[in-house]
A and B are shown apart, each in its own frame.
Chain A
Amino acid sequence: MENKEMRNKHKILMEYKYEPKSLKHGYTDKMLYVNVGDNRIEEKDIPEEVKEKFIGGKGYGMRYLWDAVNPDTKWDSEENEIVMSAGPIAGITQYPGTGKTLVCSISPMTDIPIDSNVGGYVGPYLKFSGWDGLEIQGKAKEDVIIVIDGIEGKITIETAPEESVDGHLLGEQLTEMYAKDEHEKRQISVITAGTAAEHTRMGILNFSFYDIRRKVARLKQAGRGGLGTVLRNKKVKGVVVKSKPVKGDLNNPFDQSIINKTGIKLHKEIANHDHEQNNMHKIGTAALIDTMIEFDLLPVHNFQYGTHKDAVKMGNKVFINKYLTQGMVDGCWYGCSLACAKAVDDFELKTGPYKGHKVVIDGPEYENAAGLGANCGIFNPETILELNFYCDTYGIDTISYGTSTAFAMECFERGIINKEITGGLELKFGNEEASLELIHQMSKGEGFGKVVGQGIHRMKKIFAEEHGADPDFLFDIGTEQKGLEYAEYVCKESLAQQGGFGFTNKGPQHDEAWLIVMDMVNNQIPTFEDKAEALHYYPMFRTWFGLLGLCKLPWNDIVPEGNAKTDEPAKIPEHVQNYLDLYYGITGKTITPEDMVRQSEKVYNFQRVFNIRMGKGLRANDKSPYRMMGPVTKEEYESRQERYDSQLKEKVGVDPEGKSTEEKIKILREYRYDQYEQLTDAVYKRRGWSNNGVPTKEKLQDLGMDLPEVLEVIEKHL
């Protein structure tokens, strides 16, 4: 059906006119509230106190989500919201990585708040249309779209019965439908989910940006925690934001000059050094693949191993030379000269409903290559790309998909599940066809795909209760925590990274702390106190990006000349100063690195208490599955016997001679559990939490976060 015809089938359920408020110093101080259940559209003034304590981005997401839900709210409750906000720096065009939106909701995976950051133009376009954030609440009776027209000053809720659900089609359809001509397509950004988001818990949100060279709406993903599942549960098919043309001063910053200088300085740094550092402009985040292989950190066969003889088939050079189109301007927001949003053009699909179509594939990101590929024993780059494409368009989180499928494959190989249970799927490591079939089943809501789509947390329960599996063994090899699947890094040999995953608010995602190299490779944080300090500083520092609307990559995926000679090279002091300068440039307020951490701590502790309010967030919820801490099985131990034997001797003080592998596994396991417990004590202490992981009253008072509703939650636990 033609787009025009599709649009004619829309019924306007609600129209709301408004005067788009201009930004001042990065803010409009307005929140847009849309209830698709009773078709209500309202604007809210954001109080000064909220702005001071929560800054923007994830801070706003958590604050407004808290107010919307109650301790009994589930992901599919009417009152659950999807809240998104970009933060005050987002939307500047001069500095790389300044277009991020943070999206929050009660997660179908974890049942606690999730936050996921995403590129694409939606967040900045919301700001330019007058809104610091958007709340979507309620459930529509039929499929709808929300259209925010920042040029006309008009918001509509419209039925959308005919549009596709899959992301790559819907992105195109809505972009074309709401742009008056080709040139105006760049002023449209669209949110979609996909068909599998309806049938699984791991649905994503795609945020589009129109690629004027490829003439296609590219998709970036708010991937973690099932946000797309929530969107489709609300029967929202998509959100369209139409902005006035982008200019370099739309944030109306306090001091444009310092922003210009800081941005140009980083552009030059990238122009001069990216090719000799990470090569992000050529390969994007997949640049990590070779490093992970080198250090035995690439997850292989459900995190059992850290490398594989076939891993080279999906190495950096393969993607650069054969698949990723070079020389394009691949920023997911204007001004990102790091240009990591790589794409494969004219890829002919071999399976599924779009078989034979030539498509643009965004990625693969490192996580996709590692999760969809190596962790499932798949090393064929074309299959990785095909899975990547279908994950995006069907609206599935590549990380949860990869890690969940790897878990199911291991269960199959160990006879915990069989072909009868999988509906005939030979779910062995390396079975490319089986993985592709699984993903198509998720889109249709059929077969074993529907089971895997529930994620590991629920698969463990099903396999134990319905198929008689040993729950303890499933706990060991099921790489999820708080209900969320682990991101794709083997962290057995890095205690700090075990904590980096284990003590996260939303579940084991690497955006809080990525300490493997610092800890394992460079041994820079040897003591518990050192690790605890790192597990305080980095999660707080990186939380700050999510408050301000920033991408983490331009902080440390490019480093200035002379960085190695600074006092703390891992912190990249010059880049920290850049962020302080940007903050000053936007808001006019001078802050220190300590202030950044403090701003983050406010929101981080609020989120921790939010977790507790929703039933998690205590010490018991920060435990790790042993697969992420050490060798669970004989095969794992024996594959790295020399390493583990010498650790027994040197670290544990036990002579491995004459002991069986099982005995050695047991001793190592006790040692490593003990180490993790000691680390937990040290980190909680450093963060100002009780021994049970609860932020103390004193800590909250010190942060100015002793809000009555927050104290009410913690009092029950102290």
Chain B
Amino acid sequence: MRVKRLVKDESKCIGCGKCEEACSQAYFKENNPEKSRVRVTAMENWNKLTICTQCGACMEVCPTQALKRDKNGVVKLNKNDCVGCFMCVGFCPEDAMMQHDDEREPFKCVACGICTEACPTGALSIIEF
């Protein structure tokens, strides 16, 4: 099956946070890194990027099947069916299923590419496998 997903090159990341800004603006209409679906964490000599690999571990633990893979292989959340249990958050091997207390449901990367356009160095890109 085709999988469209975000890929990262941490060696190019300068930690500017443009990706987080663009993502949270797009989906929550505010500039708030805690509401971004991609995360930048400054390490000692490099910047760590937390991204969703669309692996589907979240789908497997979802009790309501609110998480499903679409035709592009992207795992998406149907908020109507979500009961907000956050098991997906706890079981995500990449820590890329996000949660914020303002929101009743979790949220995740849908490989839209907005962050890749905002990234000045090409550290993030969308690839179809």
Chain A residues at the B interface, C-beta cutoff of 8 Å: 93-94, 186, 212-213, 245-249, 256-257, 260, 263-264, 266-268, 270-271, 327, 329, 331, 334-335, 337
Contacts and interface: CB of A to CB of B under 8 A. Distances in A.
B105 interface: yes
Interface stretch (B20-28, B32-40, B59-67, B109-117): B59-67
Contacts of A337: 61, 87, 90-91
- Leading 5 A-B pairs by shortest Cβ distance: A267-B90, A248-B84, A335-B85, A93-B85, A257-B101
A94 B82 CA distance: 12
B3 to A, nearest CB: 20
Interface string B37-64: 0000000000000000000000011111
B90 A270 contact: yes
B12 interface: no
10 contacts: A94-B86, A186-B64, A213-B65, A245-B80, A246-B83, A247-B84, A248-B84, A263-B90, A329-B61, A334-B63
B101 A256 contact: yes
A372 B84 CA distance: 38
B114 to A, nearest CB: 26
| Of B63, B91, B105, most A-chain CB atoms within 10 Å | B63
A268 B90 contact: yes
A688 B25 CA distance: 62
Contacts of B85: 93-94, 248, 263, 334-335
B90 A271 contact: yes
B90 A264 contact: yes
Nearest to A94: B86
A263 B89 CA distance: 10
Given A94-B86, A264-B99, A327-B60, A248 B91 contact: no
Nearest to A256: B101
Given A213-B65, A249-B104, A329-B63, A260 B86 contact: yes
Contacts of B91: 267-268, 271, 337
A409 to B, nearest CB: 41
Given A248-B84, A267-B90, 9 more contacts: A93-B84, A94-B85, A94-B86, A246-B83, A260-B99, A263-B86, A329-B60, A334-B64, A334-B85
Contacts of B63: 212, 329, 331, 334-335
Contacts of A271: 90-91
B83 A93 contact: yes
A94 B84 CA distance: 7
Contacts of B89: 264, 267
A263 B80 CA distance: 21
A123 to B, nearest CB: 15
Nearest to A246: B83
A273 to B, nearest CB: 12
Nearest to A257: B101
A268 B65 CA distance: 20
Contacts, number: 66
Contacts of B90: 263-264, 266-268, 270-271, 337
Nearest to A249: B104
A212 B78 CA distance: 15
Interface string B72-111: 0000000010011111011100000001010011000000
A249 B105 CA distance: 10
Contacts of A331: 63
Contact of B83 (A260, A268, A334): A334
Contacts of A268: 90-91
A566 to B, nearest CB: 22
A327 B99 CA distance: 24
Counting chain B residues whose Cβ lies within 8 A of the other chain, the interface size class is 10 to 19
Contacts of B99: 260, 264
Nearest to B92: A271
Given A257-B101, A327-B60, A212 B65 contact: yes
A263 B91 CA distance: 12
Contacts of B83: 93, 246-248, 334-335
A561 B122 CA distance: 39
A374 to B, nearest CB: 33
Contacts of B60: 327, 329
Contacts of A335: 63, 83, 85-87
B14 to A, nearest CB: 30
Nearest to B79: A247
A481 to B, nearest CB: 39
A490 B90 CA distance: 37
A110 B125 CA distance: 68
B101 A249 contact: no
B101 A248 contact: no
A28 B129 CA distance: 51
Contacts of B84: 93-94, 247-249
| Of B61, B85, B99, B101, most A-chain CB atoms within 10 Å | B85
A248 B79 CA distance: 11
A562 B84 CA distance: 29
A382 to B, nearest CB: 29
A321 to B, nearest CB: 20
Contacts of A260: 86, 99, 101
A369 B62 CA distance: 29
A338 to B, nearest CB: 10
A270 B91 CA distance: 9
Given A260-B99, A267-B87, A329 B104 contact: no
A335 B89 CA distance: 11
A267 B65 CA distance: 18
Contacts of A94: 84-86
A121 B63 CA distance: 13
B39 to A, nearest CB: 15
Contact of A212 (B64, B86, B104): B64
Nearest to A260: B101
A247 B84 CA distance: 6
B87 A247 contact: no
B104 A248 contact: yes
Contacts of B80: 245
A327 B56 CA distance: 13
| Of B64, B90, B101, most A-chain CB atoms within 10 Å | B90
| Of B83, B89, B105, most A-chain CB atoms within 10 Å | B83
Contacts of A213: 65
Given A248-B105, A256-B101, A267 B86 contact: yes
A264 B86 contact: yes
A245 B104 CA distance: 14
Nearest to B97: A264
A151 B65 CA distance: 23
A329 B62 CA distance: 7
A581 to B, nearest CB: 14
Contacts of B61: 329, 337
Nearest to B100: A260
Nearest to A93: B85
A210 B49 CA distance: 39
A247 B87 CA distance: 14
| Of B86, B87, B99, B101, most A-chain CB atoms within 10 Å | B87
A248 B66 CA distance: 14
Nearest to B57: A271
Contacts of A327: 60
Nearest to B63: A329
A246 B62 CA distance: 14
Contacts of B86: 94, 248, 260, 263-264, 267, 335
A216 to B, nearest CB: 15
A94 B106 CA distance: 11
